C-alpha cells in the first residue's frame, strides 16, 4: 500500500508528541515531514528558564535529537518557516520556496509572545522570552551590559528576571497589576512573592504602565519611560506580557479561528477535514490550553484519528496551576480570588513563608491558592473537580490530606529536601533518584507516565504530592491537569459511576452485555475492568446476574491467598476470634499432615497457614473442617472483638457475642474492597474499633457505631456515626451502611474512600434519617447473602472450578 503523506507545521512539544503517539500505533502509515521555523530539534521550552539561570544547558533540554527524526524516517526542514498552504493543491510552501505535498496536515504552530504596541518596540535589545534565540540574546547581553527591564510580572517575566539577576544584571520588573502573577495568585500571596524576590535584589514597579522605550543614537534601547513621567535605565528589555495562539498561517489559508484554530473533539479543524491542529494554537471548545498535560492528551487523541482508528475524543481538561517560581512553590486552582457569596479559610504565616487560602461556595471547595507549601494541591484540586460537599471535613480541610499515619515516605512533604537515595514510594520501593532519572531519560511529563514507568505513586498514592513536586522541578513547569472524568480503564471511556448507573438503569446482567452496551474497545476487557464490572453486576442484581469466576483475581478463584513463591495461605474462619480445642486440634493435625511450613496468628484474631501447595488446597479445607475465612477476597474479613462483659472486669457490654452475631450475619459478603469490623466492650477499645470500616464500642447505655476508619496506608480514624441501644439495632444500622457502600462504592474503594467521596452527611441521610430506606438496605443485604455457599465446601454452588487444583499432566 502506498503510504500517505503527513506534513506537520511546527516542531514543538505538542506536535512532536502527537507524532510519537502516531508512530507507536501506526508506524508504517505515513511518510512524515516536519517544518520547523527554529533551527533546532524539538526541545523542552519550559526548561528555557533553568537554561537562562545557568542550571541546565541547551543540550540537556533537547527532547528529540536529530537522530530521532532520522531513525523514524521523518524529513525535517529546519529553519524553514511555512508561509502558505494551497489547500486546493494540498501543498505546503515555506519562505525559501520549499514545497511539500500532503494528505494530512497537522498545524502545531504554538503561540507567539504578545508584544505591546509601544513606541520603540523595534529597538535593538528589545526581545521576548519564547525560544532558544531569545535565551541566547539574554545570556550574551548579561555579559556585556548591566541594566535590564522585564515587562510583565507573570511566570515567564519572573523567571526571566530571576535568570538575569543570576547572570549579574540589575533587573527592574514592571507589572501593570497591583501584585505579581495576578492570574495565578491573590494579593496576599503575590505580595509575599514580591517581598521574597526583593530580598534577592529584584526591583519592582507594580501598577505601572510603560509609555515608551527610549533608544540611543546607535539604535539600541537605553531606557524605559513610564506614564507617570519617570524612567528606568535599560540596556535590555524583555517583553513577557503574555502569549497569543499563533494563528497567522491558519488565518491566511482560511481556517476558522477564534482565540485559536477551532478544532472539534478529534482535534480536526472545523474548516478542512484533512487538517488537524494540536497545542497552544488550537482552540478546543473555546479554550486554547497552555499546559503540557492537556496538550499531550490532545496529541494522543489526534494520533488515533490520524491512524484512522476512529476512537478517542478529547473532552477538555480541568486545569490547575502548580508552579515553582525561582524556588518558591505556588499552587492555585479554580476561583481562588473568592467573591461576594464565597467564604474563605485562610492560614497565613508570612515569617515561615507559608500562605494558604481556600475558597468555599455553597459547601463546596471552589478555589485554592497555596504559597510556599503546595503538597496538598492535588488533594484540593480533586475536591474541586469532584465538586463534593465539604461540610463534614471543613474543620480539617486546611490541614490537607496528609495525616499522622501516612506511611511509606518517612513523613516527608518537601521533595527538594530529600536525598536521591531517599524512598519516595514506600509501596514499590522507588527512590527520588530513580524517579528523577526516569523523568529525564524517558522524557516523562505527567503523573500517569511516571506511575507507568517507575510504579511510584501507582499503588496507594500517598506519595502523589511528592512525585508531582519531582516532576515539576525535573521536567519544569506545571503538569497538574486531569481529564474531566476518569475512565474505568483503557478499555472504555466510561467512568466507574457510569458503568454502575448503566447496569442499574438498563438492567444488564452479563459482562458481555455491559461491554456491548457501553461500546467497550476490547473483546473481553482487561484485568482492571473485568473484576469491577463483575462485582457491579452481582452487587446490583443479586440472584439474577451470574458470577463469572474468570473475572476474579486468583485469590478469589482459588479461595486462598497467593504468596510470592506461588504457594497459598489458608485462613479458616474463627467467629469473632473465638475457637476451641477441637478446632485447634484439627488445625494442628492439618499442619502436620500437609507439612505446612509457617503458622501465623493474624491481626484479625485468627490463624494463617502459609505455604500450602495449590494441589493440596481442597484436602486442607476438608481436613480443617472450618468455614472459609475469606481472607483472600474483597469481602467481609473479620469481626475483631475483645472479651467484653462476660469476663472483663471493665466490660460494659457483651462485645464477643455481638461480634459473633455480626460475623455470622455478614460473612460471605462481597464488597467493593475488603471489609473489617470490630466490637469493643467498653471505651478502652481493646478491639481497636476506631480504625475499622465499621467499629462498634460498647458503653454502659448502649453501643456507639463508628464508620470508615482505616488502618492501612492512610491511617484514618473512623467517624462517629450513631449511638444505639440494642444489639439488634446495631446489626440493622451496620448492615444498612455496608449495603449502601456495596451498592454505591466503586470497585477497590475502601469505605474510607467511599465516605470521603460522597460525604459522611450523605451516608447519615440515607441510613439514619430515612428509616424506611435503612430497613430496605438491610433487607437487600440479607437477601443478597441468603443461601450463599461456603466456597471451600460447595464448589458447584460457589462456581469454584475444581479442575484448577490439578495439573493436566506430569512429565
Partner 1 sequence: MSDWKTFCRVDDIPVLGSRRIARRGSTDVAIFRSGDNTIFALLDRCPHKGGPLSQGIVFGQSVACPLHNWTIGLDDGCAKAPDAGCTQRFSVKVVAGEVLLDTQELATLALGTTAVPATVARGAETAAAERPAV
Tell me how far apart the alpha carbons of residues 440 and 438 are, in angstroms, rounded to a whole number: 5
Cβ proximity to partner 1: between 177 and 453 the closer is 453
Strands 236-239 and 147-151: parallel
For residues 641 and 634, the answer to whether their CB atoms sit within 8 Å is no
Report the DSSP beta bridge partners of residue 173: 150, 204
Please say which residue, 296 or 721, places its beta carbon nearer to partner 1: 296
Residue 765 CA, chain-centre distance (Å), reads 30
Q: What minimum distance in Å lies between the beta carbon of 132 and partner 1?
A: 30
Provide the minimum distance between the beta carbon of 455 and partner 1 in the complex, in angstroms, as a whole number.
5
Place of cell 506580557: 241
**Residue 669: all three cell numbers together:** 459478603
The x, y and z cell numbers of residue 758, run together, are 460522597
Minimum CB distance to partner 1 smaller for 450 or for 624:
450
Q: Which is nearer to partner 1, 242 or 443 (CB)?
A: 443
SS3 for 97-110 is: CCEEECCEEEECCC
CB of 746 to partner 1, least distance (A): 18
Residue closer to partner 1, measured from CB, 549 or 611: 549
- DSSP structure class, residue 674: -
- Name 575's Cβ contacts closer than 8 Å, sequence gap at least 6: 659, 660, 663, 664
Q: Cell numbers 464488597 label which residue? A: 671
C-alpha cell at 307: 491512524
Beta carbon nearer to partner 1, 534 or 652:
534
Q: Interface with partner 1 by CB under 8 A: which residues? A: 428-431, 434, 437-438, 442, 452-456, 522-527, 530-531, 549-551, 553-554, 557-558, 562, 564, 566, 801, 803-804, 807-811
CB of 572 to partner 1, least distance (A): 22
* Grid cell locating 717: 480514624
Looking at the DSSP bridge assignments, the partners of residue 5 are: 31
Q: Distance (Å, rounded) from C-alpha 408 to C-alpha 586?
A: 39
CB of 522 to partner 1, least distance (A): 6
* Rounded distance between C-alpha atoms, residue 382 and residue 318, angstroms: 10
Q: Toward partner 1, which CB reaches closer, 434 or 464? A: 434
Rounded to 5°, angle at Cα 306 from 304 and 307? 60
Nearer to partner 1, 453 or 460 (CB): 453
CB of 423 to partner 1, least distance (A): 10
Q: Looking at beta carbons only, is 269 or 434 nearer to partner 1?
A: 434
Sign, Cα dihedral of 50, 56, 57, 61 = negative
Cell numbers at residue 621, please?
A: 479445607
CB of 353 or CB of 618, closer to partner 1: 618
Nearer to partner 1, 594 or 733 (CB): 594
Residue 752 three-state SS: helix
Look at residue 243 and give its three-state secondary structure. Answer: strand
Q: Cα dist. 685→560, 588, 697, 722, 731 in Å?
A: 31, 31, 7, 17, 19
Planar angle of CA 152, 43, 28, nearest 5 degrees: 140
Q: Residue 429 CB, nearest distance to partner 1 (Å)?
A: 5
Between 72 and 244, CB nearer to partner 1: 72
Q: How far is the CB of 277 from partner 1 (least distance, A)?
A: 28
Asked if 107 and 249 count as a contact pair (C-beta separation under 8 A), the reply is: yes
Give the residue among 539, 540, 496, 538 at the shortest CA–CA distance from 518.
496
The distance of closest approach from Cβ of residue 441 to partner 1 in the complex, given in angstroms and rounded to an integer, is: 8
Calpha distance 705→658 (Å, rounded): 13
Closest CA to 397 of 348, 338, 362, 345: 345
SS (H, E, C) 292-330: HHHHHHHHHHHHHHHCCCCCCCCCCEEEEEEEEECCEEE
Q: Is 116 helix (H, G, I), strand (E, B) or coil?
A: coil
CB nearer to partner 1: pick between 13 and 430: 430
CB closer to partner 1, 57 vs 550 = 550
Nearest distance, CB of residue 519 and partner 1, angstroms: 16
Minimum distance from residue 161 beta carbon to partner 1 (Å): 38
Give min distance, CB of 502 to partner 1, in A.
20
Q: What nine digits make up the cell of 316?
A: 477538555
Compute the least distance from the CB of residue 219 to partner 1, in Å: 54
Nearest residue (CB) to partner 1, 649 versus 803: 803
CB of 266 to partner 1, least distance (A): 25
Helix axes 377-386, 464-475, angle to 10 degrees: 110
Closest approach, Cβ 523 to partner 1, in A, equals: 5
Characterize the bridge pairing of strands 170-174 and 147-151.
Answer: parallel
Amino acid at each position: 500500500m502506498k503510504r500517505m503523506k503527513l506534513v506537520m507545521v511546527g516542531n514543538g512539544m505538542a506536535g512532536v508528541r502527537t507524532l510519537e503517539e502516531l508512530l507507536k500505533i501506526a508506524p508504517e502509515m505515513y511518510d512524515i515531514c516536519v517544518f520547523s521555523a527554529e533551527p533546532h530539534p524539538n526541545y523542552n521550552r519550559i526548561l528555557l528558564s533553568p537554561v537562562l539561570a545557568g542550571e541546565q544547558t541547551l543540550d540537556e533540554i533537547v527532547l528529540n535529537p536529530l537522530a530521532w527524526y532520522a531513525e523514524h524516517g521523518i524529513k525535517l526542514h529546519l529553519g524553514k518557516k511555512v508561509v502558505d498552504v494551497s489547500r486546493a493543491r494540498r501543498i505546503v510552501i515555506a519562505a525559501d520556496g520549499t514545497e511539500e505535498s500532503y494528505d494530512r496536515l497537522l498545524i502545531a504552530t504554538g503561540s507567539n509572545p504578545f508584544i505591546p504596541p509601544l513606541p520603540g518596540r523595534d529597538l535593538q535589545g528589545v526581545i521576548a522570552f519564547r525560544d532558544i534565540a531569545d535565551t541566547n540574546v539574554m545570556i550574551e547581553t548579561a555579559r556585556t551590559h548591566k541594566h535590564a527591564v522585564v515587562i510583565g510580572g507573570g511566570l515567564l517575566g519572573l523567571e526571566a528576571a530571576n535568570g538575569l539577576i543570576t547572570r549579574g544584571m540589575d533587573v527592574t520588573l514592571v507589572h501593570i497589576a497591583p501584585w505579581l502573577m495576578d492570574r495565578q495568585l491573590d494579593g496576599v500571596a503575590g505580595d509575599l512573592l514580591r517581598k521574597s524576590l526583593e530580598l534577592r535584589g529584584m526591583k519592582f514597579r507594580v501598577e505601572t504602565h510603560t509609555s515608551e522605550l527610549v533608544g540611543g543614537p546607535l539604535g539600541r534601547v537605553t531606557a524605559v519611560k513610564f506614564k507617570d513621567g519617570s524612567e528606568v535605565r535599560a540596556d535590555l528589555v524583555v517583553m513577557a506580557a503574555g502569549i497569543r495562539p499563533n494563528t497567522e498561517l491558519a488565518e491566511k489559508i482560511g481556517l476558522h479561528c477564534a482565540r485559536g484554530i477551532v478544532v472539534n473533539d478529534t482535534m480536526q479543524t472545523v474548516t478542512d477535514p484533512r487538517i488537524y491542529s494540536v497545542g497552544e494554537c488550537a482552540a478546543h471548545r473555546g479554550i486554547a490550553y497552555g499546559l503540557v498535560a492537556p496538550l499531550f492528551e490532545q496529541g494522543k487523541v489526534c494520533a488515533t484519528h490520524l491512524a484512522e482508528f476512529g476512537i478517542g475524543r478529547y473532552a477538555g481538561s480541568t486545569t490547575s496551576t502548580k508552579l515553582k517560581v525561582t524556588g518558591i512553590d505556588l499552587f492555585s486552582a479554580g476561583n481562588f480570588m473568592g467573591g461576594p457569596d464565597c467564604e474563605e479559610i485562610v492560614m497565613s504565616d508570612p515569617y515561615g513563608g507559608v500562605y494558604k487560602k481556600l475558597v468555599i461556595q455553597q459547601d463546596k471547595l471552589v478555589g485554592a491558592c497555596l504559597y510556599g507549601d503546595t503538597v496538598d494541591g492535588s488533594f484540593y484540586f480533586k475536591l474541586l473537580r469532584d465538586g463534593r460537599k465539604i461540610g463534614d471535613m471543613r474543620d480539617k480541610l486546611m490541614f490537607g490530606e496528609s495525616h499522622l499515619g501516612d506511611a511509606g515516605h518517612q513523613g516527608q512533604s518537601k521533595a527538594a529536601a530529600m536525598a536521591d537515595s531517599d524512598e519516595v514510594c514506600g509501596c514499590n520501593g522507588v527512590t527520588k533518584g530513580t524517579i528523577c532519572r526516569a523523568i529525564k531519560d524517558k522524557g516523562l511529563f505527567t503523573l500517569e507516565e511516571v506511575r507507568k514507568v517507575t510504579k511510584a505513586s501507582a499503588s496507594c498514592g500517598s506519595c502523589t504530592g511528592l512525585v508531582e513536586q519531582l516532576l515539576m522541578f525535573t521536567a519544569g513547569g506545571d503538569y497538574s491537569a486531569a481529564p474531566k472524568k476518569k475512565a474505568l480503564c483503557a478499555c472504555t471511556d466510561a467512568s466507574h459511576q457510569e458503568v454502575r448507573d448503566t447496569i442499574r438503569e438498563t438492567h444488564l446482567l452479563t459482562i458481555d452485555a455491559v461491554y456491548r452496551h457501553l461500546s467497550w474497545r476490547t473483546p473481553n476487557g482487561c484485568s482492571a475492568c473485568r473484576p469491577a464490572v463483575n462485582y457491579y453486576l452481582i452487587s446490583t442484581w443479586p440472584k439474577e446476574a451470574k458470577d463469572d469466576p474468570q473475572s476474579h483475581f486468583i485469590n478469589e478463584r482459588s479461595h486462598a491467598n497467593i504468596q510470592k513463591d506461588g504457594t497459598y495461605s489458608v485462613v479458616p474462619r474463627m467467629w469473632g476470634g473465638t475457637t476451641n480445642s477441637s478446632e485447634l486440634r484439627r488445625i494442628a493435625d492439618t499442619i502436620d499432615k500437609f507439612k505446612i511450613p509457617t503458622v501465623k496468628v493474624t491481626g484479625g484474631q485468627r490463624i494463617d497457614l502459609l505455604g500450602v501447595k495449590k494441589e493440596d488446597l481442597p484436602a486442607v479445607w476438608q481436613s480443617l473442617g472450618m468455614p472459609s475465612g475469606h481472607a483472600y477476597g474483597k469481602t467481609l474479613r473479620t469481626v475483631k472483638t475483645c472479651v467484653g462483659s462476660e469476663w472483663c472486669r471493665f466490660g460494659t457490654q457483651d462485645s464477643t457475642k455481638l461480634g459473633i452475631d455480626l460475623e455470622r450475619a455478614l460473612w460471605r459478603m462481597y464488597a467493593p474492597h475488603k471489609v473489617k469490623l470490630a466490637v469493643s466492650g467498653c471505651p478502652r477499645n481493646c478491639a481497636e474499633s476506631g480504625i475499622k470500616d465499621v467499629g462498634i464500642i460498647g458503653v454502659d447505655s448502649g453501643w456507639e457505631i463508628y464508620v470508615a476508619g482505616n488502618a492501612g496506608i492512610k491511617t484514618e480514624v473512623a467517624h462517629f456515626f450513631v449511638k444505639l441501644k440494642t444489639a439488634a439495632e446495631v446489626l440493622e444500622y451496620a448492615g444498612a451502611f455496608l449495603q449502601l457502600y456495596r451498592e454505591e462504592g466503586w470497585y477497590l474503594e475502601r469505605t474510607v474512600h467511599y465516605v470521603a467521596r460522597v460525604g459522611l452527611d450523605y451516608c447519615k441521610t440515607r441510613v439514619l434519617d430515612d428509616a424506611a430506606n435503612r430497613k430496605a438496605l438491610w433487607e437487600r443485604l440479607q437477601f443478597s447473602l441468603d443461601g450463599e455457599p461456603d466456597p471451600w465446601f460447595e464448589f458447584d454452588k460457589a462456581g469454584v472450578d475444581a479442575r484448577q487444583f490439578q495439573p493436566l499432566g506430569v512429565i
